[in-house]
Amino acid sequence: MADYHFVYKDVEGASTQWDDIQRRLGNLPPKPEPFKPAPFSPADDPDLAPKSKAWIDDRTPAELDELEDDPELDDDRFLQEYRKRRLAEMREAAKVARFGSVMPISGSDFVREVSQAPADVWVVVLLYKDSIQDCGLLLCCLEELATKYPATKFVKIISTECIPNYPDRNLPTILVYNNGAVKGTYVGLHQFGSRRCTPEAIALALCQSDPVLNDGQTESSSREGIIRGVQKRFIEKFVADHEEKEDDDYSD
């Protein structure tokens, strides 16, 4: 049996001559425009887009290292920008970390390592002898400071190699140099709290008059800024030691 409910549909937009006449007479509404889909354009893939400087700045060092070794990455602009940034970071890191420890020197090294140090470098010189216990105590504190402030130069030299016949009763002695001149002299431990001296107490004493200590990262190297940083580290250390003591008491 025939399907009388079937409705024939011509190609979309097609019209009969009769319909055209009726539209000209105003008996039918205007013929609708045929549907035209928008031209196809694939969605943007962020992984395929050129890597801008802002994109590079948002990446962590670990992510950049992985991208450098990615064989599928073929973006000359990205690689150039990446290498430029890495080179700048390496230069800055080398500048900051040029010291970072207490370097032993001899009498013949003194002029080169201390007196002729660059004008922007502060040099902390420890006069010591291994046989004197207080020298070892002060050296331990200076080693910790040298690690925290790698842009400040720390050296140690046997006292009599630096100053002939220098009396042992004055040891340990700290000399602070800048631009070839002595800026400070500290004899013994009493200025740092005697045998209870700490790296923080030494740092505060060294920075009372000049910005001796420099971590290489702080934008402002003013004496006040350094003192605030030392005070902050002292408070953090005090709180950490106090919490550790409470944990030990609780476990007992």
Is the omega angle on the peptide bond into residue 32 within 30 degrees of 0, that is, cis?
no
Which range is least confidently modeled, 36-40, 41-45, 72-76? 72-76
**Residue of 128, 141, 219, 136 lying closest to 175 (CA atoms):** 128
Dist. CA 214–CA 176, nearest whole Å: 13
pLDDT > 50? residue 167:
yes
Work out the pLDDT band at 45, boundaries 50, 70, 90.
Answer: low
pLDDT > 70? residue 94:
no
User: Higher confidence at residue 12 or residue 184?
Assistant: 184
pLDDT > 70? residue 172:
yes
Give per-residue pLDDT as tens, 204-229: 899 887 888 887 765 445 566 666 76
Dist. CA 84–CA 78, nearest whole Å: 10
Q: How many CA atoms lie within 13 A of 1 on its CB side?
A: 3
On average, the pLDDT of the chain sits at 78
**Residue of 190, 123, 133, 193 lying closest to 162 (CA atoms):** 123
What pLDDT score does 220 carry?
47
pTM assigned to the model: 0.57
**Residue of 130, 144, 135 lying closest to 100 (CA atoms):** 144
pLDDT > 60? residue 6:
no
- Any idea what DSSP says for residue 172? S
Work out the pLDDT band at 137, boundaries 50, 70, 90.
Answer: very high
Which range is least confidently modeled, 37-41, 127-131, 242-246? 242-246
What pLDDT score does 225 carry?
64
Q: What is the DSSP string of 9-47?
A: --STT---HHHHHHHHTTSSPPPPPPP-PPPP-PPP-TT
pLDDT > 70? residue 93:
no
List, in sequence order, every residue forming a beta bridge with 102; answer none if it has no partner: 154
